[in-house]
A = this chain, B = another copy of it.
Amino acid sequence: MSTQPGPPRQEPIGLYIQRVAKELNRAFEVELSAVGGNVPTWLILVSLKSGKPETQRQLADAVGIRGATLTHHLEGLERNGLVARERDPNNRRVQKVALTDAGEEAFQRMFKTVVAFDSQLRDGFTDKELETLRKLLGRLTE
């Protein structure tokens, strides 16, 4: 086998995205932890705030994790007083998860951080460029 001529082979686009995502994720984790948060907590709180998920099943799907994994995280959040769970009287299989006041405050702190982080990321990009980026990324997972 001989070395191929021509331009050097480019890194696979998938791996490149992983690398960028990993770097962004680490920076994001640092920012969130500075206000006492972490990524799964943020994803769960923001899903709860959106008000859409009615059940833990839906919440798990929204966050992209398994039910058992969600239970694990909710236990931590409940232990830290950020959420409260109570059975739905109409369907006692369902646990209704709600933010406590402390959870609301935690959410607000993280929200500020996320907005600042995002605005810093967007900095230097035009709206059109960001739109292009979103569209191209979206087509990758269609």
A-side residues, CB < 8 A to B, are 10, 12-25, 28, 64, 114-115, 117-118, 121-122, 124-125, 129-130, 132-134, 136-141
The smallest beta-carbon distance between A63 and chain B, in angstroms, is 10
Given known contacts A24-B141, A141-B20, A13 and B121 CB-to-CB distance under 8 angstroms: yes
A25 pairs with B16, CB closer than 8 A? no
The smallest beta-carbon distance between A85 and chain B, in angstroms, is 25
A117 pairs with B14, CB closer than 8 A? yes
Given known contacts A118-B12, A132-B132, A139-B124, A20 and B17 CB-to-CB distance under 8 angstroms: yes
Q: List chain B residues, Cβ under 8 A from A16.
A: 134, 137
Q: CA A40 – CA B1 in complex, angstroms?
A: 26
Given known contacts A64-B19, A64-B22, A140-B20, A14 and B121 CB-to-CB distance under 8 angstroms: yes
Q: List chain B residues, Cβ under 8 A from A129.
A: 136
Q: CA A131 – CA B134 in complex, angstroms?
A: 15
Q: List chain B residues, Cβ under 8 A from A64.
A: 19, 22
Q: List 10 A-B contacts (CB under 8 A).
A: A13-B130, A14-B118, A14-B121, A15-B114, A17-B137, A18-B24, A20-B140, A21-B21, A21-B22, A133-B133
